[in-house]
Amino acid sequence: MSTLAVRKAAPAAGTTPGTAQGPPRRRRIAFVPTVTLLLGAVYCLLPVAWVVIAATKSGRELFSTFTFLPGTGFTGNLADLNAYRDGVYWRWMGNSALYAGLGALLSTAVSALAGYALAVYRFRGREALFNVLLAGVLMPPVILAVPQYLLLAQADLTDSRLSVLLPQILSPYGVYLARIYATAAVPADVVEAGRMDGASEWRIFTRISLPMMLPGLVTVFLFQFVAVWNNFLLPYIMLSDDEKFPITLGLHTLLEQGANTPALYTLVITGAFLAVLPLVALFLVVQRFWSLDLLSGAVKS
């Protein structure tokens, strides 16, 4: 199914200009979708532009100059952020990288194994298991944060880095995605051929199936990375030591300092701006794998 979708999508993307249906179709529907997409783009990009511009304003300029007029305080803000409590910001950044990077990696590994098993093997209770996972997809993780806290408290793991990592490793959505992808991308014949040649199941998985699943797994990794990077409630409940805080929590403490101390708006805005950069970089890097997705689909059949 996915190969079909990919092939149909290809002409629209402009890779085969010779196709008959390409150009006229584009001309007919160009106006409305373009305007819609432009509006959507403006809607999405305006807040980003605000953050970028606000990060350049000094405290004095922040609320007094025109919103979209760049300020002169960017280097000052950076220096302040750097100096705030001996650079605790960078520690938060490092924590976020650890939680999101390691968490997403482990979660992708679990998703790959579970998704592959669900797709390739037939065993009793397979569908039941899958349905439970589907229910898990529908359950917002926010609901689980408090029970997870109480559970980890029993194991005396709260306020540790593990307490943030562990709950994120099993991602129902990741497993779901991996299964769907494995079903489509790993033909049963290939697995069968591997068995005929005497390869062990583990070897078939690591040498044959895993490379085929790679583009799907990249997607899982990316989703999970962004989800952990942006997660607030779970670390908020789990952690009390601000040396272990991820960036989301750290910035929150800068805003809520009690009535006696004004919120450090310029620091928070600059901090938020910097916190977005790794995500942008990650997307740019990973784009390569997504085009690979299209390519591998087209090549296969």
Partner 1 sequence: MPYTKRRRLVTTAVAVALGATALAACGSSDDGEARSGPVSLTYWTWTPGMDKVVDLWNKGPGKKEQITVTVKKQASGDTLVTKILTAHKAGQAPDLVQAEYQALPTLVSNDALADIKDEAGDVKGKFADGVWQQTTLGTDAVYAVPQDIGPLMFYYREDLFEKYGLDVPQTWEEFAETARKLKKAAPDKDLTTFSANDSGLFAGLAQQAGGRWWTTSGQKWKVGINDDATKKVAEFWGGLVEEGAVDNQPMYTPAWNKALNTGKQIAWISAVWAPGTLSTAAPDTKGKWAMAPLPQWSADENRTGSWGGSSTAVTTDSEHKDAAARFATWLNTDADALSALAKEGGIYPASTSAQLSGAFTNPPEYFSNQPDFYAKAAEIAETTVPSAWGPNVNVAYTSFKDAFGAAAKNKSDFTAALDTMQDDTVADLKKQGFEVAP
What six digits make up the tokens of 269? 């805005």
Q: Smallest distance from the beta carbon of 50 to partner 1, in angstroms?
A: 11
Task: Report helix angle 265-300 to 2-12, nearest 10.
Answer: 110
Per CB under 8 A, 127 contacts partner 1? no
Q: How far is the CB of 64 from partner 1 (least distance, A)?
A: 5
Task: Please report, for the chain, how many H helices and E strands are present, in that order.
Answer: 16, 0
Q: Which residues of 115-128 are buried (b: 16+ CB within 10 A; e: fewer)?
A: bbbbbbeeeeeeee
Q: How far apart are the first and last CA of the chain?
A: 12
Site mask for partner 1 (CB under 8 A), range 228-247, x = bound? --------xx--xxx-----
d(CA 275, CA 248): 9
Task: Restricting to residues 57-86, name those near partner 1 by CB under 8 A.
Answer: 59-60, 62-64
Site for partner 1 contains 141 (CB under 8 A):
no
Residue 162 lies near partner 1 (rule: CB under 8 A): no
Nearest approach in angstroms of CB 263 to partner 1 is 8
From 2, 253, 274, 289, residue interacting with partner 1 (rule: CB under 8 A): 253
Distance between CA 136 and CA 206 in Å, rounded?
27
Q: Whole-angstrom Cα distance, residue 279 to residue 275?
A: 8
Q: Which is nearer to partner 1, 57 or 179 (CB)?
A: 57
Residue placing its CB nearer to partner 1 in the complex, 265 or 289: 265
Considering only residues 35, 142, 146, 277, which one is a binding residue for partner 1 as defined by CB under 8 A?
146
CA distance 278 to 276: 6
Could you list the residues that contact partner 1 (CB under 8 A)? Answer: 59-60, 62-64, 146, 149-150, 153-154, 158, 236-237, 240-242, 249, 252-253, 255-263, 265
